[in-house]
Amino acid sequence: MTKASSGRTPARYAPAGGTTAPGTRALRLGSRRSPMAMAQSGDVARLITERTGRPVEIVGMTSLGDVSSEHLTQIGGTGVFVSSLRESMLRGEVDFAVHSLKDLPTASPAGIILAAIPERDDPRDALVGRDGAKLADLPAGARIGTGSPRRAAQVSLLRADVTCVPIRGNANTRLAKVRNGELDAVVLAYAGLARIGFTALVTEIFGPEDMVPAPGQGALAVECQTGDRGLIELLAAVDHPATRAAVSAERTLLAALEAGCSAPVGAFASQPAGTGRLLLDGVVLGIPHPARGVPSTMATLGGMGAVPPRGLDVSPSSEMIVVREHGEADAAAPEWLGRDLAARMLARGAARLLGAPGFAVASGATTNRDDAHD
């Protein structure tokens, strides 16, 4: 079990004018202490106070994932961050918690409910290159840092002659590796950089057509205990139905693929205004697991003359297989859409990629998780 130490922070959000009803206790919001986590928790706290008049106090917490130098795969993945906040909530130390939705496991634990999903921020991935470089400007052999196999795989499709290097640490730590010359660039979530005021450093933003985001990327999750009906009703004031529908489709796809957060899977849903329709794009990338064999439609890996079936691409340089699918449905049926797209992707061979033990992002190094809050 991950033990979290907590302590009060100066962050407290009160209604405009500074007055609240007599006897009104400030809600305690549990948050990791990293700058990005505190920033996004502050955004949610302000929104709750603005819409409900209820003051919110942030309780900063430190978990094993924040202090360990081990790779996340060695200490339980990004779940070590989520678990510590959930444990504190169940012990009654905080009333609710805020997470990056892309780090949240698709299965909900007993006693906890996803009470609100505020309006999503920009879901795209961004490159921060040294000396203002975009991906196309980097020299052959350039070293690009990322803790995400999904990003590494898609970068390699865009530029097969660069090397993706696994990195840990918060955004400040990663950006410093570019400044000091250890890396030529890093790829991070644009929303995270925006929350900590670093968008001026971004040298390129990748559209979903070039780099499909992680399921839930750019969105925040607000959790509380299932038995606290009053708090659930209060938190509903910051829920954004269109965002919930989009991320529900993405996360259902992830769950139906039985991939958890552990494989290079991208999913992005959007809802064109006024259509009542939900559009979903999904991608699974990787090299087939040898124990699962290669289907006949994938027999020529990397062959320039190969003609892959619809929705199945092969990277000529790396022998990487890319299973892509697109679907749409009524906006009221996001879970159905996610399951349907996953079924089609599995039928095209995605399961052979999801069975791989990890996606190699550098010689001798593998990773199989998106890092938290990146």
* Number of CB atoms found within 10 A of residue 107's CB: 7
Which residue type sits at 141?
Answer: G
Instruction: Indicate the SS3 state at residue 138.
Output: coil
- Name every residue whose Cβ is closer than 8 Å to that of residue 354 and which is 6 or more positions away in sequence: 257, 258, 259, 263, 265, 284, 286
Active site residues: 103
Pairing of strands 185-189, 143-145: parallel
Structure tokens at 301: 């890996």
Structure tokens at 230: 């009053």
Nearest in space to 236 (alpha carbons), one of 52, 46, 38, 100: 52
Instruction: Indicate the SS3 state at residue 273.
Output: coil
For residues 160 and 317, the answer to whether their CB atoms sit within 8 Å is: yes
Specify which residues 323 forms β-bridges with. Answer: 284, 312
Q: How far is CA 371 from CA 94, 103, 194, in A?
A: 24, 8, 17
Q: Which H or E run includes 176?
A: helix 171-179
* Number of CB atoms found within 10 A of residue 332's CB: 9
> How many alpha carbons fall within 13 Å on the CB side of residue 156?
28
- Name every residue whose Cβ is closer than 8 Å to that of residue 303 and which is 6 or more positions away in sequence: 314, 316
User: Widest CA span of the chain, in angstroms?
Assistant: 75
d(CA 94, CA 116): 16
